[in-house]
Amino acid sequence: MKTLIIAGVLIIIAIIVLSQSLYKVDEKEQVLVTRFGDVKSVHRTAGLRAKVPFVDTVVRFDRRLLRIDADPESMRDSKKENLVIDSYARYRILDPVQFRKTLISEANAFSRLGDIVNSTLREQIALRTRPEIIGARAIVIDGIPEEDEEGLAVFESTETRTSLLAEVLEGVRLRVIASETTREVLVPTNLEGERTFDITLPQEILDADNGDRDSNLITGVGASDIRLVRGPEGELDGFDLEVRLWSPATRTVTLGVQEGETINEGDTFTIQYFVDREESLGIEIIDVRIKRADFPESVTPSIFTRMRAERNRIATKFRAEGDEQDLEIRAEANKKREVILADADKTSNQLRGAGEAEAIRILAESLEQDPEFFAFRRSLEAYQRVLNSGTTVILSAEADLFRFLDSPGAPPGAAP
């Protein structure tokens, strides 16, 4: 019985020891084996591995692309207008040893890389306008935004969003392999009319325009890789000083006073540049994207007010243009009406004149053919006009009017 108990205990101990001695590496993982905090081995291929039981510790990291969702942050564009930028980045762990040493865990990487992404985004956002950041531009024709059937603005895509993301990606990659450093510059007291002065940096600087770890970040360095970021009394732009030259051999920066400007001895400026990171983060940034670029909630009411004002302005412009066209159409119609009436009066007068001339001609011909009959006809017309119903006329019996009634055929003025 004792033998069975001892055998059972030994089997259990063997199972425990075996379970602590063997571990599995998944194809989606890379594994560090540490002993008392020191890394003893790294495994990146799938399979069954062995370790010293109860002494060695297995630390697992993902080999796949990992995603960081940076916290939404309010940033200012080139026109000093705020936008809430929500972004994310994807990265891969290249060196798990360095990753564990500098970032410790993926949770810490989330926070650290989120800050790097937002810092780089803030720098690039400040250089661009809102349409360039959004990556679309409203189509405007003759000063009026074009709209679709539903009354929504029509936008056309631009290349600026792609350019922005490319610059941000390079900036994030650079900040992963390099450290951003600032240094205060004190304007010397012995300028004596000189427009330039030199300062010496304690270390080599890196190419701020190149975040590619496969390229040489030192040989491409120039004056543009050293930037003035703050002036006297905390000024953030409009510096009177500028970086003129960088001499890598002596690590000397030449600073000069801008044309037409003056600086005061003892003024303090701050320059910014990149240097080699003391310890690599052990990661590679694959991509950076903007999920959303929106207005802060605090300015939403004012935006809606501005949108309504813009719509009212457009409506007022349309109404004014309509009134102007109405007046033009009415004036043109009245003009055409007057022309048509004038032409009609002209034609009427011409026809009336021609008719009267024809009547006179016919009358003259009739008079020449039978003057007596014509005189008789005219007398009858006179009777009809004068002797109508209810008319009383007192005339002499010898009046010419009664000649044809008294003596038909007698000439005018003849005695009866």
17 versus 276: the higher-pLDDT residue is 276
The set of long-range contacts for 36-40, using a CB threshold of 8 Å and a minimum separation of 24, is: 39/97, 39/100
Averaged pLDDT score across all residues of the chain: 81
- pLDDT (mean) for 37-54: 84
Given a cut of 70, whether residue 397 has pLDDT beyond it is: no
Q: Whole-structure pTM over 0.85, yes or no?
A: no
Give the pLDDT score at 416: 45
Least confident segment among 87-91, 150-154, 326-330, 345-349: 150-154
Give the pLDDT score at 408: 54
Given a cut of 70, whether residue 351 has pLDDT beyond it is: yes
Burial class (CB in 10 A: 0-12, 13-18, 19+), 54: exposed
- pLDDT (mean) for 165-192: 84
Least confident segment among 103-107, 325-329, 350-354: 103-107
Given a cut of 50, whether residue 269 has pLDDT beyond it is: yes
- pLDDT (mean) for 236-262: 85
Give the pLDDT score at 334: 93
Give the pLDDT score at 159: 67
- pLDDT (mean) for 341-345: 92
Rounded to the nearest angstrom, the gap between the alpha carbon of residue 87 and the centroid of all alpha carbons in its chain is 18
Given a cut of 90, whether residue 335 has pLDDT beyond it is: yes
95 versus 383: the higher-pLDDT residue is 95
76 versus 260: the higher-pLDDT residue is 76
Taking Cα atoms as reference points, which of 117, 254, 372, 55 lies closest to residue 109?
117
Give the pLDDT score at 151: 59
**CATH-assigned architecture of domain 66-294:** 2-Layer Sandwich (3.30)
Q: Where are the domains of the chain?
A: 2-62, 66-294, 370-416
Given a cut of 50, whether residue 1 has pLDDT beyond it is: yes
CB 274 within 8 A of CB 205: yes
Give the pLDDT score at 216: 65
- Give the pLDDT band (50/70/90) at residue 415: very low
Can you tell me the distance from the alpha carbon of 33 to that of 97, in angstroms, rounded to the nearest whole number?
A: 10
Give the pLDDT score at 137: 62
- pLDDT (mean) for 90-102: 90
154 versus 185: the higher-pLDDT residue is 185
For residue range 146-160, what is the model confidence (pLDDT) as tens digits? 666 655 566 565 667
Can you tell me the distance from the alpha carbon of 274 to that of 296, in angstroms, rounded to the nearest whole number?
A: 32
CB 171 within 8 A of CB 120: yes
Given a cut of 80, whether residue 341 has pLDDT beyond it is: yes
Taking Cα atoms as reference points, which of 291, 293, 284 lies closest to residue 90?
284
Give the pLDDT score at 384: 74
Can you tell me the distance from the alpha carbon of 310 to that of 373, in angstroms, rounded to the nearest whole number?
A: 88
Tokens of 91: 């990265």
- pLDDT (mean) for 84-109: 89
- pLDDT (mean) for 40-49: 85
168 versus 391: the higher-pLDDT residue is 168
Compute φ and ψ for 243, nearest 5 degrees: -85, 125
For residue range 68-82, what is the model confidence (pLDDT) as tens digits? 998 898 888 888 888
Query: How many Cβ atoms from other residues are within 10 Å of residue 180's Cβ?
Result: 18
Give the pLDDT score at 336: 93
Compute φ and ψ for 103, nearest 5 degrees: -110, -20
